[in-house]
Amino acid sequence: MNYFRNVLLTSITCLGLLKTGIAQEAKNDNSKTLASIKDSVLANVPATELKATTKHWYEQIALRGYAQVRYNRLLETNDKLKCEQCDKSWGEDGGFFFRRIRLIFSGNVHDRVYIYIQPDFASSASSTGLHFAQIRDAYFDLSLDKKKEFRFRIGQSKVPFGFENMQSSQNRLPLDRNDALNSAVSNERDIGVFFYWAPEKTRKLYTSLVNDGLKGSGDYGVFGIGAFNGQTANKPEGNDDPHIVARLSYPLEIKGQIIEAGIQGYKGQYVVETRSTGVKGPNKDFSFVDERVAGSFIVYPKPFGIQAEYNVGRGPEFNPVTDSIETRNLKGGYITASYLLKLKKQIIIPFVRIQYYDGGKKHELDARSYTIQEYEYGIEWQPFKNFELVAMYTMSERRFEDYKLQNNKQKGNLLRLQAQFNF
**Lowest mean pLDDT, pick from 51-60, 199-208, 288-297:** 51-60
Q: Please give the pLDDT value at position 26.
A: 41
Q: How far apart are CA 408 and CA 416, in angstroms?
A: 23
Averaged pLDDT, 17-35: 44
Q: Please give the pLDDT value at position 14.
A: 39
Q: Please give the pLDDT value at position 309.
A: 98
pTM listed for this prediction: 0.85
In the chain, the amino acid numbered 257 is Q
CA 304 to chain centre: 23
Secondary structure class of 344 (helix, strand, coil): coil
Does 23 or 417 have the greater pLDDT score? Answer: 417
Closest C-alpha to 419, from 92, 90, 93, 97: 97
Band (pLDDT 50/70/90 cuts) for residue 130 is confident
Band (pLDDT 50/70/90 cuts) for residue 127 is low
Averaged pLDDT, 42-66: 69
- Strand-pair category, 341-343 with 223-228: unpaired
Averaged pLDDT, 81-106: 93
How many C-beta neighbours within 10 Å does residue 207 have? 13
Q: How far apart are CA 125 and CA 234, in angstroms?
A: 12
Angle CA(112)–CA(115)–CA(118) in degrees, nearest 5?
Answer: 165
Q: How far apart are CA 6 and CA 320, in angstroms?
A: 127
Averaged pLDDT, 87-96: 91
Q: Please give the pLDDT value at position 25.
A: 45
Q: Please give the pLDDT value at position 422.
A: 97
Closest C-alpha to 341, from 383, 376, 313: 383
Q: How far apart are CA 261 and CA 412, in angstroms?
A: 34
Q: Please give the pLDDT value at position 39.
A: 52
Q: Please give the pLDDT value at position 49.
A: 47
Q: Please give the pLDDT value at position 2.
A: 44
Instruction: Tell me phi and psi for residue 275, to 5 degrees.
Output: -135, 150
| Spatial contact of 243 and 266, defined as CB atoms under 8 Å apart | yes
Secondary structure class of 82 (helix, strand, coil): coil
Average pLDDT, the chain: 89
Please enumerate in sequence order all residues whose Cβ is within 8 A of that of 302, keeping only pairs 6 or more positions apart, or say none.
214, 256, 257, 258, 340
With pLDDT > 90 as the criterion, what percentage of the chain qualifies? 80
Please enumerate in sequence order all residues whose Cβ is within 8 A of that of 388, keeping only pairs 6 or more positions apart, or say none.
380, 381, 382, 419, 420, 422
Q: Is the pLDDT of residue 45 over 90?
A: no
Taking only the tens place, the pLDDT of each residue in 217-233 is: 999 999 999 999 999 99
Query: How buried is 15 (Cβ within 10 angstroms: 0-12 exposed, 13-18 middle, 19+ buried)?
Result: exposed
Band (pLDDT 50/70/90 cuts) for residue 57 is confident
In the chain, the amino acid numbered 290 is D
Q: Is the pLDDT of residue 96 over 90?
A: yes
Does 126 or 48 have the greater pLDDT score? Answer: 126
Task: Return the CATH architecture of domain 60-422.
Answer: Beta Barrel (2.40)
Q: Please give the pLDDT value at position 46.
A: 53
Q: Is the pLDDT of residue 156 over 60?
A: yes
Closest C-alpha to 329, from 291, 280, 286: 291
Does 6 or 379 have the greater pLDDT score? Answer: 379
